Each structure stands twice: as structure tokens, then as C-alpha cells.
Structure 1
């Protein structure tokens, strides 16, 4: 168990930062005061340093600046007791592919008045397929992140927290998931590859894995209680959401998974 007052550093991309979830405490990063790191820190009384940043890749965690932000690993110091890591999806352009495909399908629908060939050309501008080497590269990068965290803080408890599921048993092509029956399984395959990369990295390094992907299968888009948002062209400022990202319920669920693991 991590003692109250211990230092906790949260690393990761938008699935950790929480864009679109009020309150936003750092606009450039899309970082929410109700992301899972903040919820965990509040429940356990931890001293949080949250450097999660929307759009971050594993390179931004390791050694590359993002906008004006230093590499996220700079926040990990010798006195850090807990580190959570949720990153790698942007290395694969996972959510970006889902969003681009949905956007182009939305454009292609009215374009059918110009002919099916024109509409299909619009849809075909997105590739949903990644080779095995891409997933292995994410696993390798996650291993490198863990190794660097250990080097900076040998006593820290490290949790790899993978991505909430966007596609599950209840997900079907519809207004807020404007992909067809061929595209949707490809997105699901990409999610499976990302989850497998986290599992492989956890097994290689011996750190604990929070399998949010598995825990959220029945809470994907289209379920009765989704933990992620669907597609929309309406921004949060106009009453919309950030497409294909955790919602407040999803962040609460991930926080609960982390807390349960830490209390074991």
C-alpha cells in the first residue's frame, strides 16, 4: 500500500489526461482535474505530479518535448513512490485513425450524390491496418519507459494502465460510430494489439498491469453505460465531447481499478 503523503507521478497521453472532462486544469495538455490520477491521489491522499498530455507518444514521455512541456520522465525523481503509465496509442495513431475514419465516412455519406466511386475514394483515405512490428515497437517503448522510471526511482511502484475499450460487444455502426461493418473490426483489432503490447511490456518488466481494456469491454460505445465517448463534430465548448475518449464515468472506473490494486 502506498502511504498517504507519498509522491505520485502520472505519465501518459489523452486517455490519462482526460480532455473534455471538467474541470480542465491545464488547457494545452487537455488535462482534467477529474482524470484517474487526480481521483486516485484524492482518495489515497497522495502528492500528485500530473504531467499527462493529450497527443503524447512514448517519445514525449522519454526524451522529446511536447509544445512547451519537458519530457514527462523529468517529473520522476528519487522520492517518487508511485508512477502510472498510459501511453502508446498515439504511436499507433489509434484514436487518430478512428477519428479520421469517422470524419471521412461522415463526409462520404452526402458525397454519394456524386457517385459511389467518389464516396469510396473518400473512405479509402484511411488505413486501419498495422503490422506486428508496429505493436512490438510500442511494447518495446513501454519497456524502455519502465526501465527509465526504475533508474530514476528504484523504489517506486509502477503500474502500466492500458486504454479503455472504445469497441465492445454492443458497438455497432451508427451515428456516433460512423464506420462500416468492415472498418469497425479493424479498429477493434488495433485496440487488441495495443492491449497486447501493454501485457507484453508488463510481463517483460515484471510491473503490474491495470487491464482497463478488459474491464471496460461491456462499457464500450453503444453499451448501456459507456465509459468512452462516441463521434461528434460538435466541440465541448458547444455542448459536444472529445470523440473516442474516456468520459467522467470511465475515468472513475479506471481510478477504482488503480485504487483496488494499490490496496491489495
Structure 2
């Protein structure tokens, strides 16, 4: 009876002061502002399935951007990332979604500028030497030309959404070296491809940092789940349709990118 009296007194006091008892966890979801998701196929979710009516952009319901929006209920959500996009496509077709009230921006871009698709085609069809040479070309491009292209995109984001948190998500290693694969590309080719991921991470993280953006390293986000790893693979190998090859699957977006994004935004 004494406990019942204490509870009644507590609720009477709350009612008298007009204070509401609200779970603390309710506030962050209600407070999420406008979210804009920019970028290429790694941002759109190509390879993760369930593309709805997004056509060739292949925006997946399983993509990290959609998963974050589902969990955080932003006041508005513009998902404009598109498969095949390069930096000039972001500037021409995507940044228009940004407004002064945008609270969060995510972007994955730069891989297509450096010729990721051509690299993978050359490595699958050519010799070790040709694969290594093509990756070196991509890495040279990433270090010499890509920084200026990224700066153009990042400047536009800063201008259009000056108050937003901007999270730049990088690309993972495609392969675990000395892994469990007994067939497929040679170890020399796999190492060259991973080297290109390293070059992209170096450049993208540097330019993102120069603008005060948060960089999420795809290599660490996917660690232990690359192709040839002993764990579940979070990336597709050669598959049909062919444009989904070497892209994160649904598990990669949820366990890799979304988990890493949620840790910082």
C-alpha cells in the first residue's frame, strides 16, 4: 500500500507541474531533419536488389541511405544517387536536391571517375600485367585529377547546404588477400584492385577532411567480409546483371555501410 501511495503522489506531482514523462529515446527520431543521399552505384544500392521504379539508377530499398531514413524518420528524404554517376553527374543532376535546411548529406563518388568498371573488365579479361597497368592508371588519375573534381562537388554541397552534416562514404577492398578463393582472379590482380581502393581512400578522405566532412572508410566497414574472406561476403563477385558485379549486396549495405553511417550520424 505504501508503494501505491508513492506512485499516486508522483503522478499527482507531474500533473500539477505540467511535466510529461516521455522516454528519452523518442526525441532523436523526432528531431531528424532533411536528409539528401547523393552519389554513384555504391550509394544507390546497385547490387542490393529491390529497385522499385528507379530505372537505370537502381536505387535499392536495401541501400544504406534508405535504411538510415527508415530508422531515423527525417523530416524529408531525397534519394537521388544514381548508378554510373561521376562527379559531373552529381553537379548536373543531384545537388539540386540540397537546400539550406538540409541537416544530413551522404555521398559516395569518385570510383567511376577513376574508371572502376573498366578496371574490373580489364582484370577479368586480360593478363596480370595488363591488370596491374590499368590499376596504376586509375591510381594515377585518382591522385592527380580526382582531387579537383571532388573539390567541385564538395564546394557545391557546402554552398547549398551550409548547416548540414556531410558524411562521405568510401569504397571497400574488393578482395581479402590470401583468402579462401581457389579460382577466379590471380592474387596479383586482387592486390592491384585493392591498391586502387587504397588510392581512392587516400584521396577521398583527404579532400573530405579539407572541407570538414566526416569520412567513413569502406575498407574497415567491410573488413572480414570481402570476396574470398572466410566470413559472409558483403560484395558480389561476377554476377548477372553484369553491372551489379563487384558491388555491395544487401548484407553489405546493412552490416557494412549502414552500421558505419549510424555510428557517426
- Would the TM-score normalized by the shorter structure come out above 0.5? yes
Q: Relative to 1, partners in 2 of residues 1:147 and 1:231: Cα closer, same or farther, differing over 3 Å?
A: same
**Where do residues 180-219 of structure 1 align in structure 2 (5 Å cutoff)?**
180-219=186-225
- 2:256 maps to 1:251: no
- Residues of 1 paired with 2:61 and 2:251: CA distance? 14
Structure 1 or 2: more helix by fraction: 2
Q: Is the 8 A contact 1:94 1:191 kept in 2?
A: no
**Where do residues 23-38 of structure 1 align in structure 2 (5 Å cutoff)?**
23-25=50-52, 26-38=54-66
- Residues of 2 paired with 1:43 and 1:181: CA distance? 39
Partner of 1:150: 158
- What RMSD in Å do the two structures reach over aligned CA positions? 2.4
- Residues of 2 paired with 1:21 and 1:198: CA distance? 24
Q: Is the 8 A contact 1:164 1:227 kept in 2?
A: no
**Where do residues 85-234 of structure 1 align in structure 2 (5 Å cutoff)?**
85-102=107-124, 104=125, 124=130, 127-130=134-137, 131-171=139-179, 174-175=182-183, 178-223=184-229, 224-232=231-239, 234=240
Shift, 1:229, TM fit: 0.9
Q: Name the SS for the 1:90 alignment partner.
A: coil
More moved, 2-11 vs 26-35: 2-11
Q: Is the 8 A contact 1:9 1:83 kept in 2?
A: yes
Shift, 1:95, TM fit: 3.9
Q: Unaligned 5+ residue runs, structure 1? A: 64-70, 106-119
Partner of 1:73: 95
Q: Relative to 1, partners in 2 of residues 1:133 and 1:242: Cα closer, same or farther, differing over 3 Å?
A: closer
Q: Relative to 1, partners in 2 of residues 1:80 and 1:170: Cα closer, same or farther, differing over 3 Å?
A: farther
- Residues of 1 paired with 2:263 and 2:49: CA distance? 24
Q: Name the SS for the 2:56 alignment partner.
A: coil
Q: Relative to 1, partners in 2 of residues 1:18 and 1:174: Cα closer, same or farther, differing over 3 Å?
A: farther
- Residues of 2 paired with 1:191 and 1:215: CA distance? 13
TM-score normalised according to structure 2 size: 0.79
Partner of 1:113: none
Q: Is the 8 A contact 2:114 2:141 kept in 1?
A: no
More moved, 92-101 vs 38-47: 92-101
